[in-house]
Chain A
Amino acid sequence: MAVVESRRPMTTDRRTPILVGVALVAAGVGLRALDAAGVASLRNFLIVFASLLVEALPFIVLGAAVSALIEVFVPASVFARLARMPRGLQQPIAGLGGFAFPVCECGSVPVARRLVAKGMSPAAAITFMLAAPILNPVVLVATAVAYRGRDILWPMVLGRAGLGLLVAIVTAWVLGAGRGPDILRSGGRPAGGLHDHGEVPEARWTEYFGHLASDFTMLARYLVIGAAIAAGLQTFVPQQVLGAVAGTPILNVAALMILAALLSLCSESDAFVAASFVQFGMSAQLAFLVAGPMIDAKLAVLYAGTFRRGFVLTLTALVFALTLAGALWFQVAFG
């Protein structure tokens, strides 16, 4: 066929919604049949997958709700004032933003995206995105509870906070310095002002729920993919494969960072898991707690849907290298 169909404006096709409905029913019946066959790995996958989603989805909605709030109700002058702050201060302040606004990693992505679209410097917005899931009271208290009664309690809590802030600032500076909203993927750019060009300006709430719903459907899609990958890794990669390097310096730190990336835990619970890796030593556990909330399987998909190409790779390389260096220094200084 030589006819090249140009992309026509989308029209409502009544058949597709019906097809989608049929596909969902078929998927339900198929899953039920597969489960009845008693495939242990499939059941394990689905339990972990569902649990990751049940845990993370409320935070996606909250993140989208706050992001829409920023878009619709915060006047542009606020962002202009923020952008006029001394450059050297913007990033550290953004990094401590988690204390004012405790979000975990799934919620911080839509907020950062909106901040960039609103004109905040990408370096500051990414610092917030990376640091807020660590530098917030809930997570630091959870870390203290997980390590309570051990002599490395304070080194772990303060090390997590300090190294987390440092890695976030340096990574965000490399990724975002000198860039503008072009750091967002074109498809991942929030729809601010781009949709609903009715001649009558729509009521603010219509706009608000519009941003909320489109952020939610976009991010939920990436979260579903990310949770599926994380659940697959949890199901098919035995955690014991990493145990062999527990006593080897440097390799043990790398191993726990990789494990954190594979597990995709929420930053409020990861300290309990890290605390169970006693055989790995303090620097490796610290690296698990610093790198995990910044990059993992679930987040990689969310980032890839939000930021331009190459972002995830650069971020992963930076976070891993900086965390490794920082954790080793910590071991030498306080170990």
Chain B
Amino acid sequence: MSLSRSRRWSALRLAQTVALASWAGLFWFLLASDRTSLYLSSRTAWVVPLGAIALSIAAVGRLVTARTEEPQPLGSRAAWAVGFVLLPVVAILVLPPAALGSYAASRRSLASGLVSSAPSLEAGGRVTLASVAAAGWSEDARRSLVRRAGSRVSFEGIVARRDGQAADEFMLTRFIVSCCVADALSVQVRVVGAPPGRFDEDQWVRVSGAFYPVGKEVVVDASEIEPIPQPDDPYLNV
């Protein structure tokens, strides 16, 4: 069977296919490499498989319909536009899987309104960084935290230092993400009794010791500080 006019590949449509397929590939990569938690909270992680599937369907659909009797040419402006859309894909793929660091701690607001995920301290729950964040807002949460003063805790986070902070202190910092990293809020506790000069800024550590709420702050008198690798879920979720 012969068509009166032959169908040829349209360069413009192929370029659109490349744009859609590259983004689809990125979303599949995030899923396969478990990197979603670097960018989204567990509440919104479903966006990634959704994006991967929707982009794949769009890419396949565009490829299947990319042949036409009147192929559109690919102008140089359109080619650069597709390249621009691909730039973030390249950036995300080449960069190491890093999480927000102490730089962000100096610029982001402190979490003070997040109570939903804090385990109930009254029920004997463990004291976590989420309960510390809760105490910043709720008087009840604060009172139950105070009642547990002196008990032993174990917190994981990154090392951040404030200007003029004593050599044996640092702020153990963790970020709370409710949707994507753009909404990250920080929760910090002051760690005292750290060996001076041992831990670099941005180093992930586990701090164990007795904790004491002091004024608006929570102080941990460290008995043990050990370096740990960046956790799979670098952010706390609410």
Which of B104-112, B119-127, B143-151, B190-198 forms contacts with chain A? B104-112
Given contacts A149-B115, A276-B112, contact A266 B107 (CB under 8 A): no
B166 CB to nearest chain A CB (Å): 22
Assess whether A180 is interfacial by the CB under 8 Å rule. Answer: no
Given contacts A32-B94, A55-B179, A198-B70, contact A212 B103 (CB under 8 A): no
**Set of chain B residues within 8 Å of A240, measured between Cβ atoms:** 107, 109
Given contacts A16-B80, A54-B48, A234-B182, contact A61 B58 (CB under 8 A): yes
Assess whether A275 is interfacial by the CB under 8 Å rule. Answer: yes
B85-116: which have CB < 8 Å to A?
Answer: 85-88, 90-96, 98-104, 106-116
Assess whether A182 is interfacial by the CB under 8 Å rule. Answer: no
Given contacts A27-B91, A221-B81, A269-B178, contact A40 B183 (CB under 8 A): no
Query: For the complex, what is the distance from the CA of A89 to the CA of B56, rounded to whole Å?
Result: 39
Do B51 and A61 touch across chains, with their CB atoms under 8 A apart? Answer: yes
CB closest chain-B residue, reference A206: B65
Which of A6-14, A77-85, A112-120 forms contacts with chain B? A6-14
**Set of chain A residues within 8 Å of B68, measured between Cβ atoms:** 196, 198, 202, 206
Interface residues of A, CB < 8 Å — how many? Answer: 85
CB closest chain-B residue, reference A276: B113
Mark A248-288 against chain B: 1 for CB-CB distance below 8 A, else 0: 00000000000000011110111011011110000000000
CB closest chain-B residue, reference A8: B75
Mark A29-40 against chain B: 1 for CB-CB distance below 8 A, else 0: 101100100001
CB closest chain-B residue, reference A214: B16
Do B116 and A148 touch across chains, with their CB atoms under 8 A apart? Answer: yes
Do B76 and A13 touch across chains, with their CB atoms under 8 A apart? Answer: yes
Assess whether B161 is interfacial by the CB under 8 Å rule. Answer: no
Select A11's contact among B55, B73, B77, beta carbons within 8 Å. B73
Do A10 and B75 touch across chains, with their CB atoms under 8 A apart? Answer: yes
Main secondary structure of the interface of B (DSSP, over half): helix
Do A28 and B90 touch across chains, with their CB atoms under 8 A apart? Answer: yes
Select A54's contact among B19, B93, B180, beta carbons within 8 Å. B180
**Set of chain B residues within 8 Å of A263, measured between Cβ atoms:** 182-183
Query: For the complex, what is the distance from the CA of A270 to the CA of B99, rounded to whole Å?
Result: 21
Main secondary structure of the interface of A (DSSP, over half): helix
Do A205 and B65 touch across chains, with their CB atoms under 8 A apart? Answer: yes
Assess whether A24 is interfacial by the CB under 8 Å rule. Answer: yes
Assess whether B167 is interfacial by the CB under 8 Å rule. Answer: no
Query: For the complex, what is the distance from the CA of A32 to the CA of B98, rounded to whole Å?
Result: 13
Do A51 and B103 touch across chains, with their CB atoms under 8 A apart? Answer: no
Query: For the complex, what is the distance from the CA of A13 to the CA of B104, rounded to whole Å?
Result: 44
Query: For the complex, what is the distance from the CA of A265 to the CA of B41, rounded to whole Å?
Result: 14
Given contacts A20-B82, A27-B87, A196-B68, contact A265 B182 (CB under 8 A): yes
Assess whether B40 is interfacial by the CB under 8 Å rule. Answer: yes
Select B106's contact among A59, A195, A213, A238, beta carbons within 8 Å. A238
Do B20 and A213 touch across chains, with their CB atoms under 8 A apart? Answer: yes
**Set of chain A residues within 8 Å of B38, measured between Cβ atoms:** 47, 51
Given contacts A40-B101, A272-B183, contact A224 B109 (CB under 8 A): no
Given contacts A20-B80, A208-B61, A265-B182, contact A28 B91 (CB under 8 A): yes
Do B179 and A265 touch across chains, with their CB atoms under 8 A apart? Answer: yes
Do A269 and B44 touch across chains, with their CB atoms under 8 A apart? Answer: yes
CB closest chain-A residue, reference B46: A58
Mark B44-86 against chain A: 1 for CB-CB distance below 8 A, else 0: 1001101100110010011011001110111111111111111
Do B182 and A41 touch across chains, with their CB atoms under 8 A apart? Answer: no
CB closest chain-B residue, reference A228: B88
Residue in B15, B19, B103 with the greatest tally of chain A CB atoms within 10 Å: B103
Assess whether A166 is interfacial by the CB under 8 Å rule. Answer: no
Do B111 and A24 touch across chains, with their CB atoms under 8 A apart? Answer: no
Assess whether B138 is interfacial by the CB under 8 Å rule. Answer: yes
Do A43 and B47 touch across chains, with their CB atoms under 8 A apart? Answer: no
Do A278 and B113 touch across chains, with their CB atoms under 8 A apart? Answer: yes
Assess whether B170 is interfacial by the CB under 8 Å rule. Answer: no
Do B94 and A217 touch across chains, with their CB atoms under 8 A apart? Answer: no
Query: For the complex, what is the distance from the CA of A209 to the CA of B58, rounded to whole Å?
Result: 7
Query: For the complex, what is the distance from the CA of A46 to the CA of B94, rounded to whole Å?
Result: 11
Query: For the complex, what is the distance from the CA of A46 to the CA of B11, rounded to whole Å?
Result: 31
CB closest chain-A residue, reference B73: A12
Do A55 and B39 touch across chains, with their CB atoms under 8 A apart? Answer: yes
Assess whether B189 is interfacial by the CB under 8 Å rule. Answer: no
Query: For the complex, what is the distance from the CA of A41 to the CA of B101, rounded to whole Å?
Result: 10
Assess whether B30 is interfacial by the CB under 8 Å rule. Answer: yes
**Set of chain A residues within 8 Å of B90, measured between Cβ atoms:** 24-25, 27-28, 31
Assess whether B238 is interfacial by the CB under 8 Å rule. Answer: yes
CB closest chain-A residue, reference B60: A209
Q: Which 10 A-B pairs have the closest CB atoms?
A: A269-B179, A58-B51, A10-B75, A20-B83, A51-B181, A272-B178, A275-B113, A276-B113, A40-B103, A213-B16
